[in-house]
Amino acid sequence: YDVIVLGTGLKECILSGMMSVAGKKVLHMDRNKYYGGESTSLTPLEELYTMLKPDKKPPESFGRGRDWNVDLIPKFLMADGQLVKLLLHTGVTRYLEFKSVEGSYVYKKGGKIHKVPANEKEALGTSLMGLFEKRRFRKMLIHVYEYDPDNQATWKGFDASKRTAQELFDEYSLDSNVSDFTGHAFALFLNDDYLQKPAIDMVKRLKLYSESLARYGKSPYLYPLYGLGELPQGFARLSAIYGGTYMLDKPCDEIVMEDGKVVGVKSQGEVAKCKMVICDPTYVPERSKKVGKVVRAICIMNHPIPNTNDALSSQVIIPQNQVDRKADIYVCCVSHSNQVAAKGFFIALVATTVETDNPEAELRPGLDLLGPIEEKFVTVSDLFEPADDGKDSQIFVSKSYDATTHFETTCTDVLDMYRRATGGDFDFSQVKHTLDDGC
């Protein structure tokens, strides 16, 4: 084989599909009996209880177990983002149907959530800011949306490639509260480091949010019907169509090396030869390093998140500074309308990067937004990154899934792995389809 992929998590399945489409001979193995790894969807509901509350059974009030598809790590897709472009380029959209997420919100100190203002009209109507600041924020958005790096006439005297994001906020006399929701809930930065970096990255992210919102109207996010478990299976089908070989319930006993470079994978007494291996950190703990922990709470409710206009699906981002933390808290909610819960029920996830010895307590600002909770499942997972770039060994290791409830960081890792493995960037210019038929 050209490539052996270990683990059927979403990242591994995307790369398997990309490599197969590129003409590589791929063998894809997973020690589990199911697709998806950490990004699987559990169905029926009894599977969730077996995994996380083995001494308990779901109550009869939750309805039929097979009506549930619960993501262990739910995330939304940006409608014009990198994952959608990958889906379009590879043709995986033929296996999936999507539904627009109904609302995107941000938390402001004091306990209130507000709709993220994503265009000039919403900027003037938002309750996040005072009257005069709304007008200044609107002017900044107009500047950002008109900004073209190749046309100096659109810069309005501000070179975003040389001046910082903080300087852009200062240019319009916008305070730290505005930079908080703009940087974290709008541009989806993970921390405040972006403020001292060239503003061009923030400009691109704000444009992406706006362009994604413009596609389907209610929010910039999409979510596949029947849960995220459909995504890795879609890429697995794609790989199989292009000649990829899949083996579930197949252990990896050893990665065979010669002169410091991978030459094969040994399983149950047989060795499959290969030129490179792509895998998640659990297959090569010695080639991974622990960089932190994520705490997640999967909550079952019989109502939408309060103050979201009864949205059947929504995302809320709690910027770190609004709750005196170093990391944002992410909240997302899906429901029976997404074919992931029984009629009348909602599944909310609250997640953040662990900072203390009491991880569950760190979720409190997010949990407090949910209202009454019928059932709660809390997990704490280690975060791993590859210890090296893999170029010498030809073993390319993915990062663990972070606390975000969107796929932008996931795609960044996939494209970085693709670049390291192939020596070149993925060419998005080949994307010529639209998602309209499947959304």
pLDDT at 429: 63
Q: Taking Cα atoms as reference points, which of 138, 119, 201 lies closest to residue 165?
A: 201
Beta bridge partners of 258: 261
**8 A C-beta contact, residue 198 and residue 187:** no
Give the pLDDT band of residue 428 (cuts 50, 70, 90).
low
The two structure tokens encoding residue 342: 């029984």
Strands in 346-353's sheet, in edge-to-edge order, are 112-115, 103-108, 314-318, 329-335, 346-353, 288-301, 375-386
Higher pLDDT, 425 or 142: 142
Q: Rounded distance, CA 220 to CA 98, Å?
A: 13
Give the pLDDT band of residue 390 (cuts 50, 70, 90).
very high
Mean per-residue pLDDT, 5-23: 92
Report the predicted TM-score, pTM, of the whole model to 2 decimal places. 0.92
| Average pLDDT in the chain | 93
Mean per-residue pLDDT, 247-259: 96
Each residue of 102-154: pLDDT tens digit? 999 999 998 889 999 877 888 888 889 988 999 999 999 999 999 999 999 99
Each residue of 256-300: pLDDT tens digit? 999 999 999 999 999 999 999 999 999 999 999 999 999 999 999
Q: Rounded distance, CA 90 to CA 13, Å?
A: 12
pLDDT at 430: 53
Each residue of 194-220: pLDDT tens digit? 999 999 999 999 999 999 998 887 899
Each residue of 15-53: pLDDT tens digit? 998 899 889 999 999 998 877 888 788 999 999 999 999
pLDDT at 381: 96
Predicted confidence (pLDDT) at residue 439 exceeds the cutoff of 50: no
Burial (CB count within 10 angstroms: exposed 0-12, middle 13-18, buried 19+), residue 38: middle
First vs last C-alpha separation in the chain: 36
The two structure tokens encoding residue 390: 């893999």
Q: Give percent above pLDDT 70 in the chain.
A: 97
Beta bridge partners of 246: 28
